[in-house]
Structure 1
Amino acid sequence: MFLKRLCFVLLFLGLGLLANAQEEGKSTPKDTVSLPAALDNATMTPRLPSDKRLDDYRASRDYNYERDAPPPDNPLARIWNWLSQKINDFLSSSAYENFWQYVFLVGIAGVVIWLLYKAEFIGGMFAKKSEEELVYNRITENIHELDFANLIEEAIAARNYRLATRLYYLNTLKQLTDKKFIHWQPTKTNRSYVEELQETKFKKDFEQLTYQFEYVWYGEFGVTESQFLRLKEEFQAFSTRL
C-alpha cells in the first residue's frame, strides 16, 4: 500500500515538471528581439517645501553640521580665541612648513643642550677628572697613610681652599680615631661619626665642623681666603681640645 502511494506521488511530480517545461517552451520563442521602452513625455511638476518648513530646517540643530561655537562673551576668552586662531593659521601656513618649523626645532634643541650644560650633565660625562677629584679619591683610601701637614700646605699654596677644608676635616677624623673616640671606615658617613661622639663633650663642636665642611665640599660653594682662615682656626681649636 505504501509503495503504491509513493509511486503515485512520483508520477504526479514527474507530470508536473513535464508540464512546466512544455509551458516555458511555448512562452519563450527562440527568435526574439529586445526593443527599448517608449519614452515617457509626461510633464513633471516639482514639489517644493514651504518657506516655513525651510526655516524650521534651517533653525534645527539636527541639520547644522558645522556647529560653529558662538563667540565667547568674556573679553579674556575672546582674546584667547583670537590668539588661538592666529596660532592655528600660522601653523597651517606654508611659511611655517618651509622655514619656521625648522627654526623652532633648532631653538628647542639649543634650549635642551643649554639645560644639560647647566645641569653639568655633559661635563660630568665627558670632562676629565680634575686634580682636586684625583686627590680626593686618593685621600679617602686610607687617612692613616697621608701626610696631612704637607697636603694642607700644598692646597693653601694653590689657593684651593675647598680641598684644604676637606683635608682639615679628614685630619680631624684621623685624630679622633687615634684617640679611640670613633672607629674610622671609608664606607661610613659623616653623620655616623657624629653619632659615635654622642656620649662625649666633643659631639656639639664636631657636628658644627661637619656641617661647615659639608656646606663647603658637597655644596660646591666657593670659599674665600678670609672664610677659610676662620674655618682653619676652628679646626685647629678643636684639635687642640682633643
Structure 2
Amino acid sequence: MDSVVPLADGADEWSDVPLAADSLAPRAIPDAVLSRYRRDPAFQYDNPRAERPSVWDRFLEWVFQNTLAPIGESLGPGGMRVLLIGLAALLLGWALTWMLRIGGGSPFAKRDVAKPAHPLLDVEEIADVDLRAHHREALARGDFREAVRYRYLLVLQTLDAQGAIRWSRHKTNREYVREMRSATSREQAEAFHEATRVFDWVWYGRRPVDRDRYDRLAPLFTALDRQRQPAATA
C-alpha cells in the first residue's frame, strides 16, 4: 500500500488529498520506444541531413567536372591559377567595354544627371541675344510654352548682367540655383529657385500652357527680371 505524504497545517482546500510518496519519481522509457525515436530522422538533431544541391549547384559542378577539371589536370596547379586570372581579366575587360558603349564615356566619371540633353540656349554669350524680341514673337504666334522659356532666359540674362550668376550654355538650372544662394540674399535665392522649379515643370515636363496659365506664371519671372542685385560683399 502506498504511503501518504503528510501536509502542513493551514494548507489549501486540497490539503486533504492523499499523494503517493513516489508520484514524482521519473518513469523509465522502454528501450524499444527509445530506439524508434532514435531511428526517426525528425528527432536526429545532432546529425542533420545535408540539403540536396540545387539545380544551379549541379550545373556548376557539371561545368567544373567537364571543363575546368580536365584543363587543371593537364596544366597543373600553377597553370590553372594563370588560366583563372586570365578568364577574370577577360570578363572584366568585357564588362568595361560594355559600360563604355552604353554610357558613352568613362564608367568612373562623375555625371550630372540633371544636365539636359540639349542646352537651353546654344550661345556662348547670353547678353548678345535679343531675348525680348523672341519673347514677343512667341506671344504673337500663341506659343505660350515657348514664351515661358524666353521669360526664364530673360531672368538668366538679367542675373548674368548683374553678376549674380555666370552664364554658360553647358550649365544646368540647378547650378544657377546654387550660384544664387551663394551670391544673393535668401529671399532672392528662394524666389529664383521657385521660378526655376516652375520653368522646369513647364519646359522639361512638356506641360501645355495656354494664355491663362501664362498670365499666372509670368509674374514669377517678371519680379526677378526687374530686380537689381546689390554688389556682393567680401
TM-score, normalised with respect to structure 1? 0.42
User: Which has the larger Rg?
Assistant: 1
> Which has more helix, going by share of residues?
1
Higher relative CO (Cα under 8 Å, sequence separation at least 6) belongs to 2
